[in-house]
Amino acid sequence: MTPGTDRLFGNPGRRAAIPLLVVLALGFAAPLLAVVGYSFMPPRTFSIFSSPTLENYRTIFEGTAYVSFLWSLALAVITVIMLAIICYPVAYGLVRVFGRWSTLLTLLFTIPLFVSENVRLYGWILLLIKNGVLLGTLKSLFGLELDSILFTLGAIVLGMVYVYLPFMLFPMTLGIAMVPTDTRDAAYDLGASRWQVFREIELPLSMPGLVIGCLLTFVLAIGAIAEAKVLGGQRIIPITHDIESAFTYSQNWPLGAALSVLLMLVVGALVLAVLRRFDLDRVLGRR
Amino acid sequence: MNDRRQRFRHALITAWTIAVLVFVFLPGACLVLASLTASRYFTFPITKWGLEWWSKTFNSIEVRQLLATSISIAAVVTVVAVLVGFFGALAFARYDWRGRSLYQRLVLLPIFFPQSVLGLSLLLWFNALGLDLSWKTAVIAHLVWIIPVVTLVISIQVYSFDPALEEAAFDLGATRAQVFREVTLPVLFPGLFSGALFAFLLSWGNFPLSLFTTGADTTVPEYLYAKMVAGYTPGVPVLGTVSTIGAALLLLGGYGLILLMRRHDRERAS
């Protein structure tokens, strides 16, 4: 190796990073630049080499796309809050209560990750639909006839909470595992109440995991597309639906690209702002 | 003194966890039930049970083609993702180098990104490059998201790896290749194995990336989605059940294998 390449690639860490960085450059950075490029193309064109225009952005800001945008934000926020409340006791249990059962339970919670989300949402349809598993049972056992909650806002939130549960649970578990038991015990010995230990020790020390869980679920939820379609019966139109229909039905790629750019800006700013604050070595396990 | 209250709290946490587990597996259970119905339409309670739809689904050439496409994509993705992810994880967790902290954040970006938007971006990019969409472009799309996930999974194993082991082997006169084969690889194997499992299963179940990048080819999740939107066919619960149970068996079997290997190693060591 010549001294020049040695300085560039000589460090084994830098050398090992190269394949991944190439993938990210060609498969992530370049496509995003392509989207930004398309967003400045004249409406309804498919080439990226026309002369740039701001027309798509003007259409968006003069139109009603902000309604979908607000719906997406609201759904994502509700999902994150509900998941934080649902997952905390479970994550706490996985780290501190269940002992050797934790591994099995963790595996069970992992399984749904590997089944495509539309299949899992379909299960909810079978459960909730009229004459489905829930209403059919109520009817045959008690003669009750209730209205299905399918195709309501509640059903969409249910679907989103369900689909993104593992993405909150696992970072949270990592976060709670970061709290040293000694510190907790010491606080108890010094006479702290349970609530004080939770507020002063558990919560702040497990914060990186909690925040990463919230961030991950927020980002995925704002990009959700299947829930509103499958469980919501299109009663609520999220921004991802606008983007998708610009690319499919209306064949207006530049408009879809401009909407994507706006979504990417929100997500990107949030992710970069949050990730900057954490020492990933500590969160992931270098003690 | 606090014992009873502690036990009560733990009982509450256990009950809550069981409730959440039921919530997680309830829709899957409904899929299984629906796949066992003999009638054309699903009503509950089921009046006619039967396995007709299972045999019909599996005898269809279309479904075999779908399974072949999904498995090919997942297999290629697994091999490439583990290779790249292995080196990626060494750079992430093993070596200290300037730029590592920036690199760690870059690796996370595709994970913290809405997948539907990523799929669309790749569609535009492939179009700009003039590539024809097929299952091969879907492999690339899956890799962009799965390589970072696999890198993280392997990194967690790499963090617990003591570099002194490698140094000791060097001191005893081992060559670089020998150290790699006899020390690094065996110690990191559980991480690589979990990484491969994750890669295969995440690719198998992926919908948003496939939707925009497979072109004329169709994967199982895409097919199910098209059928769902078009109306009810009992083939959907059957395929859904197969992909759920397949994933569960692969995951539990895989981890069973890791546990067995660990026990084997411990017995050999003692």
What is the reported pLDDT for A122? Answer: 86
What is the reported pLDDT for A111? Answer: 87
pLDDT in tens, chain A (287 residues): 344 444 555 678 888 899 999 999 999 999 999 999 999 989 888 777 778 888 889 988 888 888 899 999 999 999 999 999 999 999 999 998 898 888 889 989 988 888 888 888 888 888 888 777 787 877 777 877 777 777 888 889 999 999 999 999 999 998 898 888 888 889 888 988 888 888 888 888 888 889 999 999 999 899 888 888 888 877 788 998 899 888 888 888 899 999 999 999 999 999 988 888 887 887 776 54
Of A113, A122, A271, the CB nearest to B228: A122
User: Comparing B78 with A115, which gets the higher pLDDT?
Assistant: B78
User: How many angstroms away from the CA of A202 is the closest CA of chain B?
Assistant: 16
User: For A216, which residue in chain B has the nearest alpha carbon?
Assistant: B112
Question: What is the average pLDDT value for chain B, to the nearest integer?
Answer: 87
Cβ atoms B82, B199 nearer than 8 A: yes
Give the number of beta-carbon pairs within 8 Å between A and B: 285
Alpha-carbon separation of residue B254 from A8, A232, B193, B195, B197 (angstroms): 39, 36, 8, 11, 7
User: How many angstroms away from the CA of A196 is the closest CA of chain B?
Assistant: 16
d(Cα A166, Cα A159) in Å, to the nearest integer?
13
Alpha-carbon separation of residue A181 from A87, A178, A202, B191 (angstroms): 21, 9, 10, 26
d(Cα B132, Cα A104) in Å, to the nearest integer?
43
Cross-strand partners of B37: B49
Tell me whether residues A27 and B141 touch, CB distance under 8 A: yes
What is the reported pLDDT for B1? Answer: 46
Alpha-carbon separation of residue B137 from B73, B85, B122, B200, B224 (angstroms): 10, 19, 9, 17, 20
d(Cα A167, Cα B208) in Å, to the nearest integer?
16
- How confident is the model over B149-172, as a mean pLDDT? 87
User: How many angstroms away from the CA of A62 is the closest CA of chain B?
Assistant: 23
Residues of B in contact with A35 (CB under 8 A): 120-121, 124
d(Cα B261, Cα A142) in Å, to the nearest integer?
52
Residue B70 has what DSSP assignment? H
Residues of B in contact with A223 (CB under 8 A): 113-117, 208
For residue B44, pLDDT over 90 is answered with no
d(Cα B230, Cα B39) in Å, to the nearest integer?
18
Q: What are phi and psi of A50, to 5 degrees?
A: -80, 175
d(Cα B229, Cα A122) in Å, to the nearest integer?
10
Cβ atoms B248, B51 nearer than 8 A: no
What is the reported pLDDT for A3? Answer: 46
What is the reported pLDDT for A9? Answer: 55
User: Comparing B265 with B129, which gets the higher pLDDT?
Assistant: B129
Amino acid at B179: V
ipTM: 0.86
B17 and A CB contact within 8 Å: yes
- Stated pTM of the model: 0.88
Q: How many residues does chain B have?
A: 270
A17 and B CB contact within 8 Å: yes
Of A17, A132, A257, the CB nearest to B44: A132
User: How many angstroms away from the CA of A166 is the closest CA of chain B?
Assistant: 10
Q: Exposure string (b/e) for B183-207, b if CB count within 10 Å is 16 or more?
A: bbeebbebbbbbbbbbbbbbbbbbb
Tell me whether residues B44 and A137 touch, CB distance under 8 A: yes
Cβ atoms B133, B220 nearer than 8 A: no
| pLDDT, tens only, B23-41 | 999 988 888 888 887 776 6
Tell me whether residues B220 and A136 touch, CB distance under 8 A: no
Cross-strand partners of B49: B37
CA atoms within 13 A on the CB side of B90: 20
Out of A22-26, A163-167, B121-125, B251-255, least confident range: B251-255
What is the reported pLDDT for A10? Answer: 64
Q: Which of residues 27-86 of A touch B (CB under 8 A)?
A: 27-28, 30-32, 34-35, 37-38, 46, 48, 86
Rounded (5°) CA angle B102-B108-B111:
160
